[in-house]
Structure 1
Amino acid sequence: MYKKSAGLLQLLYPFIFAIIFAYLLNPLVNRLENKGISRVFGILIVYVLLIGIVLVISFSIFPKIANEFKKLVEVLPTYFNQLYDFFNNMYIRYSENIENLPPEFQAVKNIVRENLNTIQNTVLNSIRNLTNTIINMFSRILSFIIIPILTFYFLKDKDVFKKKLFLILPKPYRTDVVKVTREIDSVLGKFIRGQLIVAAFVGISTTIGLLILKVDFALIIGLIAGIANVIPYFGPIIGAIPAIIFAFLDKPSKVLWVIILFTVIQQIESGIISPKVVGKSVGLHPVIVILSLLIGGSFFGVLGMLLAVPVAVIIKISSAFIVEKLVKL
């Protein structure tokens, strides 16, 4: 049953991403349409601009990212061996010292041994999971070729889809549903587009900072940091972990500078960029945000964490409206 659900979700991924991209690009197309440009021609203009940006990035950045991935795959076994040797030496060193403790401290011996094993397994498993996630993400790119085509039709026939969805609804609920969806769009629109701008800032500034510090795989880490920054609370930590690991493997003294770099970037992002670009909060309590992230991550992985806050906002606005209607009855 689980495999069937996972397979169905894989099939739906292109449609989900197409809907998201159509939602993000719709304001640009609407703006062009308001200036007298036909909707189809406006979509083509937006596509040409996006293709131009993608081509520039492809010729200037993608080859470097591809080379970094190739290098990463080549050196990963070496890194794993270094980490294993590091934890193994630590284990031997502490084991020798702990064995000299009196019998009364047997519990302390067991705790230290268990924690060393746990830390070692956690770090190694985290690196393996991160590597597998990156490889799987890029291996699925080919399956998403259909996304631009679906996005085009969602943008082109936006009013047709809206009308059909509207007619599917029972008449007594149509006005209420339109009101709720407009409120959701008002709250989420600026938040999502702002988050993308902030993510771009974090990704670019992280890459530049790591290049200055001469940390290996700066482009890959910057890409991870930018994408992860969309995830509240956990995102900056997820983005910093690969940088700290690679800095430590290269030269332990670099770790402090990497931590300072990420701290400075996060302070600028949270104190200056986000308030101006994203605007006010979506109105969710931190506990609700964290719970949403945990639920989304446990069921749908990274994608679930990325969509957790928007989905939580939709649920919040919808439930508040329903409660308000029930109170009036």
Structure 2
Amino acid sequence: MERFTKNRLFVWLVYIILGLLAIYLMLLLKPLILNVYVFLRAVLAPFIIAMIISYVLNPVVTLLHERKVPRTIAVLLIYAVFCTAITVLLVNLIPMFINQVQELNRHVPELSMRAADIVTDINNTSFLPESIRTGLNKSLVHMEKKLSETLFNFVNNIGSMLNAVFIAFIIPFLSFYILKDFDVFERTVITYVPKSHRKNTVRLMKDIDTALGSYIRGQFLVCFIVGLLAYCGYFFIGMPYALLLAGIVAITNVIPYLGPFFGAAPALLMASTISVKMVILVAIINTACQILEGNVISPQVVGRTLHLHPLSIIFALLVGGEIAGIVGMILAVPIFAACKVIVQHMFAYYVRRKII
């Protein structure tokens, strides 16, 4: 019996059974887990956003601190510049953005009629099977309904977003205190680690920072540049709602591989209600932006810092999208990269113990 329990096949069988039991228990507890997830997301969201902002700004604060500037003063200086820049951008962009959303909401019936005319023209052609024509009509009706509902809810909830306003108000204060005591938090985390593992933990944290630091900070700049290029292109060709559509391109660009398709889809749909020429021009602009981003902007700003295989990235995107939608897809790659570094360190530690 003892020989059987030491058999590798038996050990793997036990692991598989335990894994299946864990999955079964998670399925049973799914409603409870979802409620806990919604609660934690609401509570932790401002802290997570504040930590990301602090992580992005911390290198500049540290640089000033090394130049004999007190850390609190350095934080206030960087904060003043950062908040001023963000405020100027938001004051100028938010009214324009809201106006474009409201205008788009008013023109949804007109745009849907144009799209219906296009589908009617397609239906009148004989080269498409009847099933495809029916599918196009159903897709158009469903898309029109969802778009109208989304825009209506967005426009009507602008004045009642008290929770979002509160979060936006509290995040700067959280970021300030995190930035001010960033090194204190690091030392506090280390004190909870046993002394025998502190050296390895510090090395692990440095490797995670190396893997993610330039990627996260650079990604903000890349998204801004791509969004600016898209806006200039849309504005030049006379595309309606240029700022709104370019903003979508900028936000979705943070999602590797799939982001450009998500970002280009609304602009292409909008262009299809105008003319075939506009569709071609929008496609050219988005293609040019992605060529520049992939071959010039990202290699210079971000570089290939994560060293992840494309299949791994796509897998991470699918998991993140299933768990938390668009936000999950945005955070999936950095979290996956951090997990990769942790697994590498655990494997190296295990190998060293086996050798010793």
Question: What is the TM-score with the length of structure 1 in the denominator?
Answer: 0.87
Aligned counterpart, 1:280: 304
1:90 offset after TM fit, Å?
Answer: 5.8
Give the SS at the match of 1:258.
Answer: helix
Match 1:152 to one of 142, 155, 176: 176
The 5 Å alignment of 1:6-155 reads 6-84=38-116, 86-87=118-119, 89=120, 93=124, 109=130, 111-112=131-132, 115-116=135-136, 119-120=139-140, 123-124=143-144, 127=147, 131=151, 139=161, 141-142=164-165, 143-155=167-179
Q: Aligned AA for 1:35?
A: R
Give the SS at the match of 2:276.
Answer: coil
CA root-mean-square deviation: 2.7
Aligned counterpart, 1:223: 247
Task: Tell me the matched-pair count.
Answer: 317
Q: Deviations over 1:100-156 (max 9, x none)?
A: x9xxxxxx75x4366435643674477468758977997464133211111111111
Q: Aligned AA for 2:175?
A: T
The range that moved more, 184-193 or 246-255, is 246-255
Aligned counterpart, 2:209: 185
User: Aligned in 2, Cα 1:134/1:319: closer, same or farther, shift over 3 Å?
Assistant: farther
Contact 1:91 1:116 in 2 (8 A): no
Q: Aligned AA for 1:112?
A: I
Q: Distance in 2 between matches of 1:13 and 1:309?
A: 18
Is residue 289 of structure 1 aligned with residue 313 of structure 2? yes
Aligned counterpart, 1:326: 350
Contact 1:244 1:259 in 2 (8 A): yes
Is residue 214 of structure 1 aligned with residue 246 of structure 2? no
Q: Aligned AA for 2:196?
A: P
1:280 offset after TM fit, Å?
Answer: 2.3
Q: Distance in 2 between matches of 1:274 and 1:28?
A: 21
Aligned counterpart, 1:162: 186
Give the SS at the match of 2:124.
Answer: helix
The range that moved more, 183-192 or 161-170, is 161-170
The range that moved more, 279-288 or 20-29, is 279-288
1:254 offset after TM fit, Å?
Answer: 0.3
The range that moved more, 134-143 or 156-165, is 134-143
Q: Deviations over 1:180-199 (max 9, x none)?
A: 11011011111111111111
Q: Which has the larger radius of gyration?
A: 2
Q: Aligned AA for 1:280?
A: R
Q: Aligned AA for 2:245?
A: I
Q: Distance in 1 between matches of 2:301 and 2:157?
A: 28
Q: Aligned AA for 1:120?
A: L
The range that moved more, 198-207 or 247-256, is 247-256
Is residue 194 of structure 1 aligned with residue 218 of structure 2? yes
1:48 offset after TM fit, Å?
Answer: 1.0
1:306 offset after TM fit, Å?
Answer: 0.8
User: Aligned in 2, Cα 1:131/1:323: closer, same or farther, shift over 3 Å?
Assistant: farther
Give the SS at the match of 2:273.
Answer: helix
Q: Deviations over 1:244-291 (max 9, x none)?
A: 111112233200010001111111111111111112241111011001
Q: Distance in 2 between matches of 1:17 and 1:285?
A: 27
User: Aligned in 2, Cα 1:133/1:258: closer, same or farther, shift over 3 Å?
Assistant: farther
Q: Distance in 2 between matches of 1:118 and 1:316?
A: 43
The range that moved more, 274-283 or 140-149, is 140-149
1:160 offset after TM fit, Å?
Answer: 2.0
Contact 2:100 2:241 in 1 (8 A): yes
Q: Aligned AA for 2:136?
A: L
Aligned counterpart, 1:241: 265
Q: Distance in 1 between matches of 2:306 and 2:235?
A: 34
